[in-house]
Amino acid sequence: MSLSSSHRARLLPWSGPEGKPSYVIGEGTGPVSRLADEAEAAQLRMGVELLGHARAMLGDRTVSNGEARFLGDRLVEALRDVLRIAESRGAERAAAEHAPG
């Protein structure tokens, strides 16, 4: 299948059946693309909020091991979301193009 210059495959911020990556093909203006934009914006907002909580918790000596593990798990999820958004927006390709070597 060949994509025209106005149509591209976009990695969506959610997984499909069996946890496999989901894509939408188009100009980026359709309802699925708009829903993906909203989901990515929400993920980024939650990541910013989580970062604020993490800073506060890491400065608190009374945080339990369980709380710290919970924070670590949420940070991993947020990082996964941000990396998926970056991949969707082409950061991986751009980094490869500018890599030394």
User: Residue 12 domain-assigned?
Assistant: no
pLDDT band at 53 (very low <50, low <70, confident <90, very high): very high
Structure letter (DSSP) for residue 59: T
Residue 23 lies in a domain: no
Residue 95, pLDDT > 70, answer no
Query: pLDDT (tens digit, 9 = 90+) per residue, 17-48?
Result: 899 999 999 888 999 999 999 999 999 999 99
Q: With respect to residue 26, please indicate whether it lies within any of the assigned structural domains.
A: no
pLDDT (tens digit, 9 = 90+) per residue, 73-90?
A: 999 999 999 999 999 988
Tell me, yes or no, whether 92 lies in a domain. yes
With respect to residue 2, please indicate whether it lies within any of the assigned structural domains.
no
Element housing 25 (H / E): strand 21-26
Residue 75: burial class (beta carbons within 10 Å; 0-12, 13-18, 19+): middle
pLDDT at residue 91 in the model: 64
- In the prediction, which pLDDT does 37 show? 96
Average the pLDDT over 50-59 and give the result.
95
User: Does residue 64 fall inside a structural domain?
Assistant: yes
Residue 57 in any domain: the answer is yes
CB 82 within 8 A of CB 44: yes
**The domain containing residue 93 runs over which residues?**
31-98
C-alpha to C-alpha distance for 10 and 85, rounded to whole angstroms: 10
Specify if 20 maps to a domain: no
Give me the number of domains the chain comprises.
Answer: 1
The mean predicted confidence, pLDDT, of the chain is: 88
